[in-house]
Homo-oligomer: A and B are copies of this chain.
Amino acid sequence: MVSGKDWADATMQFDKLDFMLLAELCTNARRSHVELSERVGLSTTACARRLKSLEDSVIAGYHASLDLKQLGLGTTVVVRISLESQSEEALEAFEKAVIESPSVVRCFLMSGSDDYLVTVIARDIEDFERIHKTQLSRLPKVSRIQSSFALREVVNRIAPPAAFQQWRAPRRP
């Protein structure tokens, strides 16, 4: 680290066109090369070339997002979980079990007093009670579980808009 700005190294390899492509793909991953090229003002060939290099570096994958309400899964619950011990074995055992839990969509190891922040998707409140009993309370080494229900989803984005808003000089001046 020279300047104290590591991230500059990371983002400097991309220019405005790359970020335009990334933004397009984040909102609609199934756009054809033709559509993409029209939107960013490039030929389909150049577009495909950039796309490939982005896929080799910064694009982790392409995913379909589902309307979970239509699948009967309309309830999001955020669960704060503290463990009895913070030993490596305890963390490892807990995490292994969380990954296996079929109702969990997100789990972060957190700083502060709560050890883990887990997001659970349930059909409804009664279904969450079942999940709590059959999945959460059976997680190993848990000392405290604290659940909060999400009443409404205000924002849900793949990436922050800020990610697309800084770029180095264009490749061609």
Interface residues of A in 1-48 (CB under 8 A from B): 6-8, 10-11, 22, 25-30
Q: Are A150 and B67 in contact (CB under 8 A)?
A: no
Determine the chain B residues whose CB is within 8 A of the CB of A160 once the complex forms. 73, 102-105, 120-121
Contact of A72 among B7, B73, B114, B149 (CB under 8 A): B7
**How many copies of the chain does the oligomer comprise?**
2
Query: Given A11-B71, A71-B10, A165-B102, A66–B151 Cβ distance below 8 Å?
Result: no
Smallest CB–CB gap between A69 and chain B, Å?
A: 8
Chain A residues at the B interface, C-beta cutoff of 8 Å: 6-8, 10-11, 22, 25-30, 57-68, 70-73, 76, 78, 95, 98-99, 102-112, 114, 116-118, 120-121, 123-124, 127, 148-163, 165
